């Protein structure tokens, strides 16, 4: 069963609100999926998937808040890796660049060869890694809209 982001935000309202009210910091994400191992050492996949969705709700909160305010800090970047993708969040903005950190606790926990664990990249380059729904000029951060216009 596929749920939309709006439905997921409603289901995980507590975590989504946490993302809206906290400073973007990937270290707050839950990453220890072994805590859901059963007594015989098997992973409880339902609990693991719940953990992933709670983490995604926090990240959606950061991203939605930054998109609404047309800010850089909190913006989500993704990079295709293997059979999945690596998710990064902007944690700091400089005049011409942004600092990005990888988000863990989202399944395979891919790390991009381009970004690594943490990296400072030019703002123009970072815009290429916005998820497709946010890659539009209208949702671009204000300083980038000013340069394009």
pLDDT tens for residues 60-95? 999 989 888 888 999 998 888 888 889 999 999 998
Confidence of residue 132 (pLDDT cuts 50, 70, 90): low
Confidence of residue 149 (pLDDT cuts 50, 70, 90): very low
Are the beta carbons of 119 and 99 closer than 8 angstroms?
A: yes
The answer, yes or no, to whether residue 134 has pLDDT greater than 50, is no
Average pLDDT, the chain: 83
What does pTM read for this prediction? 0.82
Measured distance CA(132)–CA(128) in Å, rounded: 9
In this structure, what DSSP letter does residue 93 have?
Answer: E
Question: End-to-end distance of the chain based on CA atoms, in angstroms?
Answer: 42
Distance, CA of 71 to chain centre: 15
């Amino acid at each position: 069963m596929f749920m939309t982001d709006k439905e997921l935000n409603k289901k995980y309202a507590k975590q989504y609100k946490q993302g809206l009210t906290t400073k973007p910091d990937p270290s707050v994400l839950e990453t220890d999926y072994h805590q859901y191992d059963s007594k015989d050492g098997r992973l409880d996949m339902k609990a693991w998937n719940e953990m992933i969705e709670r983490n995604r709700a926090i990240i959606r909160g950061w991203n939605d808040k930054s998109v609404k305010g047309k800010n850089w800090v909190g913006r989500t970047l993704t990079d295709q890796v293997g059979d999945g993708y690596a998710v990064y969040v902007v944690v700091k903005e400089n005049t011409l660049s942004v600092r990005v950190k990888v988000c863990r606790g989202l399944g395979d926990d891919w790390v991009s060869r381009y970004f690594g664990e943490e990296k400072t990249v030019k703002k123009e380059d970072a815009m290429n890694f916005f998820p497709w729904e946010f890659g539009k000029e209208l949702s671009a951060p204000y300083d980038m809209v000013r340069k394009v216009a």
